[in-house]
């Protein structure tokens, strides 16, 4: 799905897909904390952070030569096509 809209928040420009994912992670964590317990919300937060880290660093495994040439590509990796 191509990104058609971008949001600028202070000095950061984010695609709409990132904004919606951030809202979804935050809202789900808040609902778990409110409805169940802090422990379940903490486990969910840990899993959400691991998901993001694995997604961002998977480019090292899939395309190491590109990461060696351009190390900052890890920050801007969008998951590929």
pLDDT digits (tens, 9 = 90+) for 48-61: 889 888 887 888 88
19 band by pLDDT with thresholds 50, 70 and 90:
confident
Read off φ and ψ for residue 12, nearest 5 degrees: -110, 130
User: Rounded distance, CA 52 to CA 27, Å?
Assistant: 16
Question: Looking at residue 27, what is its pLDDT?
Answer: 93
User: Rounded distance, CA 39 to CA 19, Å?
Assistant: 26
Q: What is the mean pLDDT of residues 20-47?
A: 89
């Amino acid at each position: 799905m191509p990104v058609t809209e971008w949001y600028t928040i202070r000095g950061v420009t984010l695609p709409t897909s990132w904004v919606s994912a951030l809202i979804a992670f935050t809202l789900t964590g808040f609902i778990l904390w409110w409805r169940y317990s802090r422990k379940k919300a903490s486990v969910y937060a840990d899993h959400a952070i691991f998901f993001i880290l694995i997604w961002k660093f998977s480019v090292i495994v899939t395309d190491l030569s590109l990461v060696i040439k351009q190390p900052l590509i890890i920050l801007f990796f969008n998951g590929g096509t």
